[in-house]
């Protein structure tokens, strides 16, 4: 998403993810206490966690944009400078979180009792899976609408296609880029919270998911929302099936091998790059 | 007003960074301790930390402001500097003085910790930084998995010397000198293997792919128990030794002989890389870095030269791997982490991308500071905190001085665009 506008990978996305996870974790921890809530309060708590994660993610994203990207953009710095700056910022946040939140993983306070809801083809579907599915679907539709139908979305697409011309047409580039970061940060934060609900929080939790998210995005076609979904599904399925064939220690190698293969043979991804079109 | 706010935020951030650590069950301890706790203000009186740091911040920004307004003064210093550094005799004197200092250093530094650090943490890192400089500085390719080549070199040494579970490479347990060519060749091959598919990519894809590559090498080193010795690695790598005719010498535990050995090789690499920089290949790298399309149109094959940069950088890292393996006797996957890759990157960025002197300077300065912090940690400092400063330093360098402390001359065009905002 952010990539589409800046034509740059946001290296700090893993940290946005991590911060989102932590924000959700702390908010739930202080609101829930020790008992496990049920019914309507569970739903509210999940929404609260999602909002906390998303807000924190968006906040960090804006700060990042301000500190690590904007000064470089103002100067028209070469690409490598952005990359280095982003890596530095990412590394900074990662280790600051390690210091402040400790280096031991914590499991998430559960806002609901996980249990199979129904079964498809004999496979039980857990509550957790269902929640993620619903949230992802809502976010996806929302984002798709936002980008293709609103004024902001049009601005984003315009900046992505040709930022100079866009600014001549009266699009405020700084504002648009900041909003894109907010949007991307919100989504990243929410994802971090959802991920943390299952596996808990840890300062380095963002690294592997971010690498995989990138793989999924490249697989589907960078800047192409539907492609990203397709890429994510394919990657997930391939990984799950490869468990049967490779040592579990090498699962991450599979994702990486896919990434290299895609980049070698079809760098535009399965559905093609669509920077600035349907974004 | 806005400036004041920025100063406030930055100084409080510094307070948090330098403050005590928190933990997951009480997340606010760290922040609370960093902000509200009492701290002595320059030993004069006690005051809450946030106020103390705000005052420091104000003083520093005031100093910077005053310094910046003295433009004439700065210009004078710059021209004076230029006339001094372009003077031949001054140059020769400086280099002779530096070489003498480097040679005499082990006699000046008697502390065993520092003698050891000079080899394993400073000299070896200079080698690594020189190698990465070829990739990042000369050819302009961001490699985040540089540590992989270092690992290849170290494991190749272990292989040749028969320290791995595998049978030794040539059937006999060789001493590490023979491992040098093997390690360099293996590292170069892995550079080429990684380079050919990935170097066609755009810069940011390359960064991610190399990042993944570094992680995967570590993963393999950790899990291929039968080949690499798994997470435990190996601890049986022998020391260097020479048995030629009457000369019988074995490098042992004392670091000083290793120091001279490493320094000699550092010298060779510096000379080789500076020759390379000014050769046809070096010019081709500059051309590709500045404008790949233009370079291609004058008949330079970008892929060929990029792969070459990867291979040459890898060779230097592989060599550093040999030195480390032989000096410390052990090789474990825990050494070869992403953190190390970023650490090496910082040395290059801080010193100045593409500038050999700069990179050596950066490596020496940063590693010395690092070692100092490890040796005499200030109150509340944890070893892992170093990475916070490293990350911050990368951002700061990119914002304020992207060309590094000692910028390269050849990068003038990039430097101009990097520095164009500076007055």
Judge whether B23 is closer than 8 Å to chain A, CB to CB: yes
Position B178 confidence tier, pLDDT thresholds 50, 70, 90? confident
Q: Do A259 and B212 touch (CB under 8 A)?
A: yes
Candidates B5, B231, B309, B394, partner chain A, best to mutate (most A CBs within 10 A): B394
Q: Do B388 and A92 touch (CB under 8 A)?
A: yes
Q: In this structure, are residues B391 and A92 in contact, taking their beta carbons and an 8 Å threshold?
A: yes
Judge whether B388 is closer than 8 Å to chain A, CB to CB: yes
Q: Which two tokens stand for residue B290?
A: 């500045």
Count of CB atoms situated within 10 Å of the CB of B148: 27
User: Average of pLDDT values for B36-46?
Assistant: 56
- Nearest Cα to B11, choosing from B72, B43, B52, B67? B52
- Residue B393 and residue B339: Cα distance in Å, rounded? 14
Query: Which runs of consecutive H residues, i.e. helices, occur in chain A?
Result: 2-6, 13-32, 39-64, 70-75, 79-101, 127-149, 151-161, 163-168, 173-199, 207-220, 225-242, 251-265
Provide, rounded to the nearest whole percent, the portion of chain B with pLDDT above 90. 0
* ipTM score assigned to the predicted complex: 0.73
- pLDDT at residue A159 greater than cutoff 70: yes
Q: Which two tokens stand for residue B298?
A: 């004058």
The helix/strand/coil state of B402 is coil
Q: Which of A193-207, B26-40, B336-350 has the lowest average pLDDT?
A: B26-40
Q: Do A91 and B391 touch (CB under 8 A)?
A: yes
- Nearest Cα to A65, choosing from A82, A50, A53, A84? A82
A257: Cβ contacts below 8 Å, ≥ 6 apart:
none
- Nearest Cα to B49, choosing from B63, B39, B62? B39
Estimate the crossing angle of helix A39-64 against helix A173-199, to 10 degrees: 140
Q: Bigger pLDDT: A171 or B247? A: A171
What's the confidence (pLDDT) of residue A279? 38
pLDDT tens digits along A232-246: 788 878 777 777 776
Q: Across all residues in chain A, what is the average pLDDT? A: 72
Position B419 confidence tier, pLDDT thresholds 50, 70, 90? very low
User: Average of pLDDT values for A54-59?
Assistant: 82
Position B363 confidence tier, pLDDT thresholds 50, 70, 90? confident
Q: Do B207 and A85 touch (CB under 8 A)?
A: no
Q: Which of A265-274, B154-163, B183-192, B200-209 has the lowest average pLDDT?
A: A265-274
User: Average of pLDDT values for B26-45?
Assistant: 57
Candidates A72, A91, A208, A259, partner chain B, best to mutate (most B CBs within 10 A): A91
- pLDDT at residue B14 greater than cutoff 70: no
Q: Which two tokens stand for residue A89?
A: 């910022």
Provide, rounded to the nearest whole percent, the portion of chain A with pLDDT above 90. 0
What's the confidence (pLDDT) of residue A255? 74
Candidates A92, A250, A265, A268, partner chain B, best to mutate (most B CBs within 10 A): A92
- Nearest Cα to B263, choosing from B88, B93, B96, B126? B126
What's the confidence (pLDDT) of residue B380? 60
Judge whether B322 is closer than 8 Å to chain A, CB to CB: no
What's the confidence (pLDDT) of residue A144? 74
- Residue B77 and residue B65: Cα distance in Å, rounded? 17
User: Average of pLDDT values for A55-59?
Assistant: 82
Provide, rounded to the nearest whole percent, the portion of chain B with pLDDT above 70. 65
User: Average of pLDDT values for B357-364?
Assistant: 85
Q: Which of A56-65, A87-96, B23-32, B232-241 has the lowest average pLDDT?
A: B23-32
In A, minimum Cα distance to B10 occurs at A67
pLDDT tens digits along A91-115: 888 777 777 666 666 666 665 555 5
The partner residue sitting opposite B398, judged by closest CB among A85, A98, A100, is: A85
- pLDDT at residue A263 greater than cutoff 60: yes
A27: Cβ contacts below 8 Å, ≥ 6 apart:
A48, A49, A52
In SS3 terms, A95-154 reads as: HHHHHHHCCCCECCCCCCCCCEEEEECCEEEEHHHHHHHHHHHHHHHHHHHHHHHCHHHH
- Nearest Cα to B190, choosing from B153, B221, B231? B153
* The dihedral sign for the CA sequence B118, B119, B120, B126: positive
- pLDDT at residue A278 greater than cutoff 50: no
- Is the pTM above the cut of 0.95? no
pLDDT tens digits along B104-147: 777 777 677 777 777 777 888 888 888 888 888 888 888 888 88
The highest-confidence range among A192-206, A258-272, B234-248, B303-317, by mean pLDDT, is B303-317
Instruction: Spell out the domains of chain B, with CATH numbers in brackets.
Output: 2-74 (no CATH), 107-400 (1.10.3470)
What's the confidence (pLDDT) of residue A276? 46
User: Average of pLDDT values for B20-24?
Assistant: 56
DSSP single-letter state for residue B405: S
Q: Which of A163-177, B8-22, B117-131 has the lowest average pLDDT?
A: B8-22
In A, minimum Cα distance to B207 occurs at A83
- pLDDT at residue A259 greater than cutoff 50: yes
Chain B partners within 8 Å of A8 (Cβ): 204
């Amino acid at each position: 998403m952010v990539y589409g506008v800046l034509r740059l990978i946001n290296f700090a996305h893993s940290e946005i993810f991590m911060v989102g996870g932590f924000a959700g974790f702390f908010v739930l921890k202080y609101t829930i206490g020790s008992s496990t809530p049920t019914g309507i309060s569970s739903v509210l708590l999940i929404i609260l966690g999602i909002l906390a994660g998303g807000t924190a993610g968006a906040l960090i994203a804006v700060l990042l944009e301000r500190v690590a990207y904007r000064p470089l953009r103002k100067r028209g710095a070469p690409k490598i400078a952005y990359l280095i700056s982003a890596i530095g910022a990412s590394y900074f946040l990662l280790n600051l979180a390690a210091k402040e939140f400790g280096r031991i993983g914590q499991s998430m306070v559960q806002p609901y009792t996980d249990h199979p809801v129904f079964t498809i083809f004999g496979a039980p579907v857990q509550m957790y899976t269902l929640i993620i599915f619903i949230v992802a679907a809502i976010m996806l539709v929302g984002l798709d609408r936002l980008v293709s139908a609103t004024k902001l979305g049009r601005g984003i697409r315009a900046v992505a296609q040709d930022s100079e011309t866009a600014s001549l047409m009266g699009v405020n580039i700084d504002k648009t880029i900041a909003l894109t970061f907010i949007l991307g940060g919100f989504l990243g934060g929410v994802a971090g919270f959802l991920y943390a609900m299952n596996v808990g929080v840890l300062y380095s939790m963002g690294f592997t998911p971010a690498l995989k998210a990138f793989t999924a995005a490249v697989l589907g076609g960078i800047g192409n929302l539907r492609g990203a979904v397709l890429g994510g599904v394919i990657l997930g399925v391939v990984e799950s099936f490869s468990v049967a064939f490779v040592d579990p220690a090498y699962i991450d190698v599979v994702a990486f091998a896919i990434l290299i293969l895609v980049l070698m043979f079809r760098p535009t991804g399965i559905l093609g790059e669509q920077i600035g079109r349907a974004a | 007003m806005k400036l004041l706010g920025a100063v406030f935020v930055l100084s409080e951030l510094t307070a948090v960074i330098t403050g005590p650590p928190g933990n997951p069950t009480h997340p606010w301890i760290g922040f609370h301790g960093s902000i509200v706790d009492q701290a002595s203000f320059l030993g004069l009186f006690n005051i809450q930390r946030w106020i103390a740091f705000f005052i420091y911040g104000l003083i520093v920004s005031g100093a910077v402001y005053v310094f910046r307004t003295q433009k004439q003064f700065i210009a004078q210093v710059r021209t004076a500097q230029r006339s001094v550094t372009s003077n031949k005799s001054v140059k020769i004197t400086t280099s002779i003085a530096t070489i003498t200092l480097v040679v005499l250093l082990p006699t000046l530094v008697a502390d065993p910790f520092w003698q050891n650090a000079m080899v394993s943490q400073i000299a070896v890192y200079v080698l690594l930084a020189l190698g990465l400089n070829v990739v990042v500085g000369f050819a302009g390719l961001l490699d985040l998995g540089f540590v992989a080549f270092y690992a290849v070199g170290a494991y190749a040494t272990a292989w040749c010397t028969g320290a791995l579970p595998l049978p030794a490479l040539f059937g006999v347990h060789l001493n590490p000198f023979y491992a040098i060519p093997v390690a360099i060749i293996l590292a170069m091959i892995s550079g080429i293997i990684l380079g050919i598919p990935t170097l066609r990519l755009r810069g940011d894809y390359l960064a991610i792919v190399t990042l993944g590559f570094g992680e995967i090498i570590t993963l393999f080193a950790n899990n291929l128990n039968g080949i690499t010795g798994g997470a435990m690695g190996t601890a049986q790598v022998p020391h260097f030794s020479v048995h030629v005719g009457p000369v019988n010498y074995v490098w042992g535990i004392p670091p000083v002989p290793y120091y001279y050995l490493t320094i000699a090789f550092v010298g060779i690499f510096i000379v080789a890389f500076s020759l390379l920089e000014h050769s046809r290949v070096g010019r081709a790298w500059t051309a590709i870095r500045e404008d790949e399309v233009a370079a291609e149109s004058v008949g330079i094959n970008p892929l060929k030269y990029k792969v070459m940069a990867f291979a040459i950088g890898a060779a230097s890292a592989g060599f550093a791997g040999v030195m480390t393996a032989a000096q410390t006797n052990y090789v474990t996957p825990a050494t070869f982490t992403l953190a190390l890759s970023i650490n090496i990157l910082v040395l290059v960025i801080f010193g100045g991308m593409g500038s050999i002197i700069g990179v050596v300077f950066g490596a020496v300065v940063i590693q010395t500071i690092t070692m100092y912090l490890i040796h005499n940690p200030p109150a509340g400092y944890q070893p892992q905190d170093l990475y916070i400063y490293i990350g911050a330093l990368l951002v700061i360098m990119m914002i304020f001085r992207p060309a590094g402390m000692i910028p390269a001359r050849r990068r003038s065009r990039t430097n101009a665009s990097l520095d164009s905002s500076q007055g």
